[in-house]
Amino acid sequence: MVPDASQPTSAAPPTAPKGLSRVEALAYELKVKDVMTSPVVTIAPSRSIADLSELLRAHGITGVPVVSGESLLGIVSVADLITALGRGDLAAPVSSYMTAALITVNENDAMVRAVEVFTKTRVGRLPVLDAAGRLVGMVTKGDLTQGTLRALQVAQDDEEVRRYRASHLFEDIVSDRTSLLLRYRVRHRDFVTGGMASANVRHALLRLGASLETARRCAIAVYEAEMNLVIHTTNGGLIRVEIHPHLIFIEALDDGPGIADTAQAMQPGYTTTPPEIRAMGFGAGFGLVNIQRCVDKMWLKSTPGEGTRLEMWIYLQPGAERREVETLLDRLSLVTPVGSEPPGPKEAA
């Protein structure tokens, strides 16, 4: 039996609204075939009510589809059985008590369609058909619950595996020095995507197994640096985050206009943010102060007309400060052009 136009089909898959919980989102992600019971226990229309009683008891179910060949004719349930027993009609064929007016779902329908059908009707089970209208399964409210719980468990197991693999990244890679480099371009006056670098860094750190406190400190430092690039630069800038086993190094770079007095810029509440941007809630003059509170060490160098370089360190292990110089030298040997004069360890201290 092929469902009519009033019944759910897979022609227009629903889109999950924003802001859903994980359980609610699964109703849109899972398909009916992911949660249905298959293969299906069926009964022929000519079989007796007594045969139906034995079939339901043997399989511990409360209803079955009535099928002749590949044709779905109806549904017969324990309620129909009780009606027949009350009439002493055990020898009657199942077809005389079945429900022939069927509501069906397609195997490729989103699970939410089955939820909607159960909500709008009083049926206890739905036959599941394939594209050719053949019966391929049955789905009940219990199947929806069990299927969702299974999916949640699988998702949780997968997440734990991903977190384990990520958190052991540095242990599993053999090299003289291993680090992960994250780079983010920040655009001038882009308040729409401003803050995305911070969110992405926090997410990456948590996936790598960092503590919530470390991820929070790093995210705040990156956010404040990122918004400074959005507000105060001429052409935007670059944020680099190097994640080492023993420390996190953060760098914010831009090519102007630069800071005339870095000591004054470090004073709480000092700001050169235009009034129209301050009216938006940005640039209160505590960005560098907040960064300094969140990191273990900060270094700022700026030249008017040339640009600003802000470097930040967060130590992850005891002794990380002693290994900082070696890390800095390694980094400079990889990114510094020959002939340039980058700040050495003493200058950056």
Q: In the prediction, which pLDDT does 323 show?
A: 63
In a domain, 161, yes or no: no
Could you tell me if 113 and 194 lie in one domain? Answer: no
Could you tell me if 143 and 186 lie in one domain? Answer: no
Domain that holds residue 252: 172-348
pLDDT for 117 beyond 70: yes
In a domain, 122, yes or no: yes
Total number of domains in the chain:
2
Q: In the prediction, which pLDDT does 284 show?
A: 87
Examine the fold and report which residue of 100, 117, 150 is the final residue of a domain before the chain moves on.
Answer: 150
Could you tell me if 134 and 237 lie in one domain? Answer: no
- Before 345, cis peptide (omega within 30)? no
Q: In the prediction, which pLDDT does 283 show?
A: 86
Could you tell me if 210 and 307 lie in one domain? Answer: yes
Q: In the prediction, which pLDDT does 22 show?
A: 73
CATH number of the CATH domain containing 197: 3.30.565.10
In a domain, 7, yes or no: no
Could you tell me if 277 and 180 lie in one domain? Answer: yes
Examine the fold and report which residue of 119, 150, 181 is the final residue of a domain before the chain moves on.
Answer: 150
pLDDT for 196 beyond 80: yes
Q: In the prediction, which pLDDT does 27 show?
A: 83
pLDDT for 72 beyond 90: yes
Let me know: does 208 contact 159? Beta carbons within 8 Å. no
Q: In the prediction, which pLDDT does 341 show?
A: 42
For residue 177, what pLDDT band results from cuts at 50, 70 and 90? Answer: confident
d(CA 280, CA 236): 19
Among 4-18, 111-125, 258-272, whose mean pLDDT is lowest? 4-18
Q: Which residue has the higher pLDDT, 6 or 153?
A: 153
Which distant-in-sequence residues (6+ apart) come within 8 Å of 4 by Cβ? Answer: none
pLDDT for 97 beyond 60: yes
Examine the fold and report which residue of 118, 150, 182 is the final residue of a domain before the chain moves on.
Answer: 150
Question: In the predicted model, what is the mean pLDDT of the chain?
Answer: 84
Could you tell me if 309 and 184 lie in one domain? Answer: yes
Could you tell me if 194 and 97 lie in one domain? Answer: no
Q: Which residue has the higher pLDDT, 234 or 212?
A: 234
CATH number of the CATH domain containing 32: 3.10.580.10
Neighbours of 106 (CB within 10 A): 24
Question: Shortest CA distance to 268 belongs to which of 291, 286, 287?
Answer: 286
Could you tell me if 293 and 207 lie in one domain? Answer: yes
In a domain, 136, yes or no: yes
pLDDT for 106 beyond 80: yes
Could you tell me if 180 and 249 lie in one domain? Answer: yes
Could you tell me if 34 and 114 lie in one domain? Answer: yes
CA distances from 106 to 24, 36, 92, 99 (A): 20, 11, 32, 19
In a domain, 118, yes or no: yes
Among 71-80, 194-203, 221-230, 275-284, whose mean pLDDT is lowest? 275-284
Let me know: does 23 contact 148? Beta carbons within 8 Å. yes
pLDDT for 208 beyond 90: no
- 312-340, pLDDT tens digit by residue? 999 988 776 666 666 665 655 544 443 33
In a domain, 157, yes or no: no
Could you tell me if 232 and 84 lie in one domain? Answer: no
* Secondary element (H or E) of residue 185: strand 180-186
pLDDT for 162 beyond 70: no
Neighbours of 9 (CB within 10 A): 19
Q: In the prediction, which pLDDT does 122 show?
A: 81
Could you tell me if 176 and 307 lie in one domain? Answer: yes
In a domain, 16, yes or no: no
Q: In the prediction, which pLDDT does 337 show?
A: 40
In a domain, 5, yes or no: no
